[in-house]
Amino acid sequence: MSLIIGLTGSIATGKSTVLSYFKSKGVPVIDADYIAREIVEPNQPALKQIELTFGSDLIKADGTLDRAKLGELIFDEPTQRKQLNDIMHPAIVKRMIELRDELVARHEPIIILDVPLLFEGDLAYLVDRIVVAYTNETLQLKRLMKRDQLTKKAALKRIQSQISIEEKKRWADDVIDNNGTLESTIKQCDVLFHDYERIGSQVNA
Ligand SMILES: CC(C)(COP(=O)(O)OP(=O)(O)OC[C@H]1O[C@@H](n2cnc3c(N)ncnc32)[C@H](O)[C@@H]1O)[C@@H](O)C(=O)NCCC(=O)NCCS
Ligand SMILES: Nc1ncnc2c1ncn2[C@@H]1O[C@H](COP(=O)(O)OP(=O)(O)OP(=O)(O)O)[C@@H](O)[C@H]1O
């Protein structure tokens, strides 16, 4: 049996940082953001639905999705965001389940599903345990503005489009506190990895 870990957080709280650690330990990962990009490649049905719903000016001359434009639209407008989620989420979840089940069939001891919207999408049922990558909201805003070159207003809109990180922290089984140095985050990941190895071996005993 595999131990399936859901890695989540809110935007720019450190999921990718935690994920890199687990990848470096050879743990297989399923990345919802990556799948979300795959399913809107040219000629995919989800891209056609986006064009029909939001208009053809969201498609660039080379046939690819204008992600920046769609981001501006959906982070501004809850109704449009819901429309996009209704198009994308069933396809993302279907693909995540396929990939998860392939890894389970290969008897991988630990599998990580990196799902930013795990709580918003009611997807806890996909995993055995949930770890939240946490930074306080002040640091979250600062890191998001710096990483994505966003104004404070635009960054706050993105943060407010998700359940707050404080709430997610309360719902987690495990928390990685990413307020400090990268070194401190890696140390916590090390402890957690050994816990997961131990829990996995108990499950299989
Ligand atoms: C709106 C899009 C085109 C913007 O693309 P962009 O390249 O700028 O951002 P990227 O895809 O790297 O997402 C960055 C982060 O934004 C947040 N985010 C993405 N979509 C959403 C959403 N619908 N609601 C709230 N937050 C979201 C997540 O924290 C994600 O990690 C893109 O995010 C998208 O297709 N979103 C819908 C799919 C989705 O829900 N993805 C999350 C997977 S669970
Ligand atoms: N401990 C840390 N110290 C300093 N900078 C950090 C730390 N952890 C993450 N960062 C930086 O903060 C930003 C956000 O981190 P990261 O990309 O890991 O978040 P994320 O949760 O994966 O974000 P998203 O969901 O938006 O993709 C990045 O620019 C990253 O380099």
Homologous superfamily of 3-203 in CATH?
Answer: P-loop containing nucleotide triphosphate hydrolases (3.40.50.300)
CA distance 117 to 110: 21
Confidence grade of residue 199 (pLDDT, cut at 50, 70, 90): confident
Q: Was 14 annotated as part of a binding site?
A: yes
Report the distance separating Cα 70 and Cα 59, nearest Å. 10
140 confidence band (pLDDT: 50, 70, 90): very high
pLDDT of 40 reads 97
Write down the pLDDT at residue 202: 73
The pLDDT mean for the chain works out to 95
**Which tens digits make up the pLDDT trace of 147-189?**
999 999 999 999 999 999 999 999 999 999 999 999 999 999 9
Does the structure's ipTM exceed the value 0.85?
Answer: yes
At residue 140, what is the residue type?
Q
The domains of the chain are located at 3-203
What are the pocket residues of ligand 1 if the criterion is a CB atom closer than 6 Å to any ligand atom?
11, 32-33, 36, 67, 70-71, 74, 81, 84-85, 88, 92, 115-117, 161-162
Do 182 and 138 touch, CB atoms closer than 8 A?
Answer: no
- Ligand found nearest the CA of 89: 1
136 CA distance to ligand 2 middle (Å): 12
Structure pTM? 0.95
The residue length of the chain stands at 205
Per-residue pLDDT averaged across 39-53, rounded? Answer: 95
Q: What is the largest CA-CA distance in the chain?
A: 56
Give the CA distances from residue 63 to residues 53, 59, 128, in Å, rounded to whole numbers and listed in that order. Answer: 16, 6, 39
pLDDT tens, 63-91? 999 999 999 899 989 999 999 999 999 99
pLDDT average, residue stretch 36-52: 96
Q: How far is the CA of 16 from the centre of ligand 2 (A)?
A: 7
Q: What is the pLDDT of residues 99-109, one digit of tens each?
A: 999 999 999 99
